[in-house]
Amino acid sequence: MSEELPAKPAKSPATVLAKPLYRFRDGIRWRARALLQNARDAKLAAEAWARRTVGLNRSENKLISDSQSYWNNLSDRSRNQNSHWRGVGIFADDSRWLSLGHGHLELYEEFARALNLRHSPKRIVEWGCGGGMNAVHFAPLCLEFYGVDISSASLEECGRQLIAAGFSNFTPVLIDAADPEAAVSRVGGPCDLLISTYVFELLPTPEYGIRVLRVAHELLAPGGIGMIQMKYSEANRTTASRRWAYAKNLAWNATYRIEEFWEAAEQCGFTPKMVTLLPKQPLVNDRNYAYFLLLKAGAT
Ligand SMILES: C[S@@+](CC[C@H](N)C(=O)[O-])C[C@H]1O[C@@H](n2cnc3c(N)ncnc32)[C@H](O)[C@@H]1O
């Protein structure tokens, strides 16, 4: 038995036209945005090519000293936001600050589960702890939490956040950008876990980042693990390390191809175990992130 369906009300001409018009408008916007992005990428690629060809790139030493100045320039209003201080700039939205740091703790726990690591770190070190966005989530896991940074203001802020959260296991380790190796003797002993997020991209050059990777290996105890985030290049000029104007290119100073970083970690003595990609991170409006889990061979 079939029942007759009620006739659909006829659509007005405006409703009939609306959908294609919206699609057309969205299509134009999308194309305009893509064109703008292509133009920006082309400008950047041309600048990178011209600088390399004419030899205008900055020396390693100049970029290192520019990084030291940038992170210690108290009059630069963007610095505290870029150091991920709670309540400042985009982090006035506290949920953003909390969820970025908590996301890193979740990722570490996922890595540990995936590898069946029975890992309860007694000593944790963070390379470039900034305003304590990770520290407040990782300090509760351990007896001693070390924050290494080139900015004393950020180390103080990190300490303040930890005290406010009820933790007294923080030791600040101030280093000079020119001497990252100094951290080894200043951290109180071999660590079980080293974390570093939103730091490798702003190290002065990729070669300097590999230097830090070697220091990270030295800081860890046998069987210790490193969870390190870096920014990956796509083997084109737009996503390549800049090597000029440190402060202008802040989060693009040092990029690596994924396999290049993996192999560099091996050369530093690590056994890379896993990598996970985050092509877009809307919480900081940035992209091309890779998180590596690196194991230092030895007892577990
Ligand atoms: C974007 S903040 C990241 C803070 C924290 N890791 C996070 O994810 O919220 C970058 C931090 O790295 C520090 N930094 C910059 N160059 C460094 C270096 N060569 N060694 C250690 N820390 C450095 C800065 O002072 C700043 O505190």
The whole-number average pLDDT for the span 235-245 is 91
Distance between Cα 253 and ligand 1 center (Å):
13
pLDDT at 50: 77
Residue-wise pLDDT tens digits, 149-200: 999 999 999 999 999 999 999 999 999 999 999 999 999 899 999 999 999 9
Residue-wise pLDDT tens digits, 28-47: 777 877 777 677 777 777 77
pTM for the whole structure: 0.86
* Pocket probe mutation, ligand 1, options 60, 66, 69, 71, max atoms within 8 Å of Cβ: 71
Residue-wise pLDDT tens digits, 221-233: 999 999 999 999 9
Please state, in angstroms and as integers, the Cα–Cα distance from residue 142 to each residue in 95, 191, 193, 271, following that order. Answer: 24, 10, 10, 24
pLDDT at 195: 98
**CB burial of residue 119 (10 Å; 0-12, 13-18, 19+):** middle
Q: Is 229 near ligand 1, meaning CB less than 6 Å away?
A: no
User: For 63, phi and psi rounded to 5 degrees?
Assistant: -65, -35
Q: Tokens 């950020």 appear where?
A: 154
* Pocket probe mutation, ligand 1, options 63, 67, 83, max atoms within 8 Å of Cβ: 83
Name which residue sits closest to atom 12 of ligand 1, judged by CA.
Answer: 128
Count the Cβ atoms, other than its own, within 10 Å of residue 282: 8
| Dihedral (CA of 84, 58, 235, 213) sign | negative
Q: Could you tell me the strand order of the sheet in which 286-296 lies? A: 170-174, 144-149, 123-127, 191-196, 220-231, 286-296, 270-281
Q: Is 288 near ligand 1, meaning CB less than 6 Å away?
A: no
> Helix (H, G, I), strand (E, B), or coil: what is residue 199?
coil
Name which residue sits closest to atom 19 of ligand 1, judged by CA.
Answer: 177
Distance between Cα 130 and ligand 1 center (Å):
5
The amino acid that residue 200 corresponds to is F
pLDDT confidence band for 13 (50 / 70 / 90): low
pLDDT confidence band for 249 (50 / 70 / 90): very high
The amino acid that residue 156 corresponds to is E
The whole-number average pLDDT for the span 196-214 is 98
pLDDT at 15: 67
pLDDT at 2: 41
User: Do 107 and 74 contact (CB within 8 A), yes or no?
Assistant: no
* Pocket probe mutation, ligand 1, options 96, 150, 230, max atoms within 8 Å of Cβ: 150
> Can you spell out the DSSP letters for 106-144?
HHHHHHHHHTT-----SEEEEES-TTSTTHHHHGGG-SE
pLDDT at 10: 66
118 pLDDT higher than 50:
yes
